[in-house]
Amino acid sequence: MDIKLYFTITASLLLKKSAEINRFPQLRFNILLSSQTEITPDLYMALASMPNAFIITLSDELFENDADFSAVLTHLYLLIATGKSSCTANVVPVFSHTKTYQQNPLQADKISTYLNQQGIHDVELPVFFHAGPAAQTVQNYSLLKLESLSENIADVIGNFQSCGSSTLIHFNEEIMDLVLLDNFRKQFTFNEKSGLDNGVKELDIEKEELAVEIMLWKKRTMLYQNFLSLSKEVQEKEYYDIIDWYNHEYEILPLWYKQLGHIIKVIMGKRSFRSLFSDNVKKYKD
């Protein structure tokens, strides 16, 4: 199974690194939002300008922010919308500091309903615990907590045997060097069992994007077909609207008035004089 790695990064670190992030387009990020104050215009700009796929994770404080939850929802949707050009999962993980934390079903429902109403369907909201075990799996998603980048990669891979298709990597020490993070990603994508290198893995991601594109083109073909069948119906209505307009605006006038109108057209140079007496001559100028 292909596992997508999302490296957890705080909003403030993302802003610090936004200038160099473009150099590492293969890195996928899990943006951890802890408070509303982190959601600034600069964060929007940084997310909108980076080519990387990302997901947004809410801290439990933000998730339980009853006082201004509608603002949280608005930000959440818009932030997700800045990164929806690539095939990212419809998931909003929640990171809790409390081991016994129980996700408030009302808040979860509010998020799913809101995103659904905005057109992001079937959103999953897995809860992970900061104080919990090093590897946690909820639904199709996993969290792997690592002390530092220097951890033995073989052990790390070992921990992935039962992981979900998307795995959030969280380093306890803040990673300031994106080169190291990218190297970690490259090491991970080397598949020991098959001997395939990371280039092949990257092709897998491209293959997935291609599958999405094919699906979109198929949908688009259907849409144009619908337009064709609809256009007949609409244009027929437009035709009858014009006929209706003609009947009400012109046909209803008395014959003598219409004949006088044609003479006025000749006087104004908008119709040829000879056309008043013969149907075989050209009526109007091109």
Partner 1 sequence: MITRHKITVLYHMFYEDTYEKVCAELEPLLLFDTTFLFNICQETPGKKLISSVLRDKFPGCIIIFTSNKGKDIGAKLALMELFLQLQIAADYILLLHDKKSLQALKSATWKKDLLKIISAKSIQKSMDIFCESNRYGIVATNEYIINEPFEEGHFSGINGGILKKLVQTYETTPATYSFIAGTMFWARAKPLRDFFKRYDPLEIRKELEDGNVLDNFSGTITHSWERMLSWIVTSQGYLIKGI
Smallest distance from partner 1 to CB 47, Å: 9
Q: Which of residues 137-196 bind partner 1 (CB under 8 A)?
A: none
Our finding on whether 75 is near partner 1 (CB under 8 A) is yes
DSSP track, 19-82 = TTGGG-TT--EEEEE--GGG--HHHHHHHHH--S-EEEEEEHHHHT--TTHHHHHHHHHHHHHT
Q: Which one of 18, 34, 36, 118 is in contact with partner 1 (CB under 8 A)?
A: 118
Our finding on whether 110 is near partner 1 (CB under 8 A) is no
Contact window for partner 1 (CB under 8 A) among 68-76, 102-110, 133-141, 260-268:
68-76
DSSP track, 135-199 = EEEETTEEEEEES-TTS-HHHHHHHTTT--SEEEEEESS----HHHHHHHHHHHHS-TTT---HH
Residue closer to partner 1 (CB basis): 70 or 139: 70
Our finding on whether 32 is near partner 1 (CB under 8 A) is no
Residue 33 and residue 58 in contact, taking contact as beta carbons nearer than 8 Å: yes
Q: Residue 128 in 3-state DSSP?
A: strand
Q: How far is CA 50 from the centre of its chain?
A: 14
Q: Which one of 12, 35, 85, 148 is in contact with partner 1 (CB under 8 A)?
A: 85
Smallest distance from partner 1 to CB 156, Å: 30
Our finding on whether 119 is near partner 1 (CB under 8 A) is yes
Our finding on whether 74 is near partner 1 (CB under 8 A) is yes
The Cα–Cα gap between 279 and 85 comes to 61
Q: Which one of 21, 56, 62, 120 is in contact with partner 1 (CB under 8 A)?
A: 120
Our finding on whether 227 is near partner 1 (CB under 8 A) is yes
DSSP 104: -
Residues with Cβ within 8 Å of residue 267, at least 6 apart in sequence: none
Q: Which one of 220, 270, 274, 282 is in contact with partner 1 (CB under 8 A)?
A: 220
Q: Which one of 19, 45, 179, 267 is in contact with partner 1 (CB under 8 A)?
A: 45
The Cα–Cα gap between 222 and 217 comes to 9
Residues that bind partner 1 (CB under 8 A): 41, 44-45, 48-49, 70, 74-75, 77-78, 81-86, 114, 117-120, 209, 213, 216-217, 219-220, 223-224, 226-227, 230-231, 233-235, 237-239
